[in-house]
Amino acid sequence: MNDFHVRTVDDDASIRDWQYAHNLIVPGDVLSLDDVRARAGRNHMEVAYLCDVLIGSPTCAPI
C-alpha cells in the first residue's frame, strides 16, 4: 500500500500546512498566512504527506 500523497495548496488547511513546512525549513524567511496566500496566487504550491504526516512543501514558480 502506498500512503504517500501530494495535494495542491487550495484551502485553509493546506495553506497552513505549507506555511508550517516552509517556516520550519526556511526559518530566515518566515511567512504569514497572508504571505502564503499571495504566493499561492503566483506559484503552483503543493503539500506532501506520508500517511497523515506532512513531509514536504514543493513549489513551482513560473519562469
Q: pTM value? A: 0.89
Question: Rounded CA gap, 61 and 63, in Å?
Answer: 6
pLDDT in tens, 13-59: 999 999 999 999 999 999 999 999 999 999 999 999 999 999 999 99
Whole-angstrom distance, CA of residue 58 vs CA of residue 50: 14
Residue 1 has pLDDT above 70, yes or no: no
The DSSP letter of residue 9 is: -
Which cell numbers in the block locate residue 21?
Answer: 513546512
The three three-digit cell numbers of residue 27, written as one number: 526559518
Q: What is the DSSP string of 16-43?
A: HHHHHHHHHH-GGG---HHHHHHHHHHS
The range of the structural domain enclosing residue 53 comes to: 4-60
Q: State how many domains the chain has.
A: 1
Take residue 37 and report the three cell numbers written for it: 496566500
